[in-house]
Amino acid sequence: MPLFRPPSSEQPGDQSAQTPSGKEIPMAMSMMVDSMVRMIQKASGNQPSIKNEESNESLDEH
């Protein structure tokens, strides 16, 4: 069953998004950057717990 999408006068390659600074960039690039930012934030959020585990392991070794 096809997905319902509203009709658009723009071709898929011509669709763009505006950045906070007002520049227009291709929609695919905007989605890619958003995805990368989320991955980095998720990885950064996990780092402190990994560091805590490593410090606990080093204390247990002595």
Flag whether pLDDT at 40 surpasses 80: yes
- Write down the pLDDT at residue 30: 85
Flag whether pLDDT at 31 surpasses 80: yes
Closest CA to 10 of 22, 23, 27: 27
Flag whether pLDDT at 20 surpasses 90: no
Write 9-17 long-range contacts (CB < 8 A, 24+): none
Region 15-43 average pLDDT: 85
- Write down the pLDDT at residue 54: 59
* Residues belonging to the chain: 62
Flag whether pLDDT at 39 surpasses 80: yes
Flag whether pLDDT at 57 surpasses 60: no
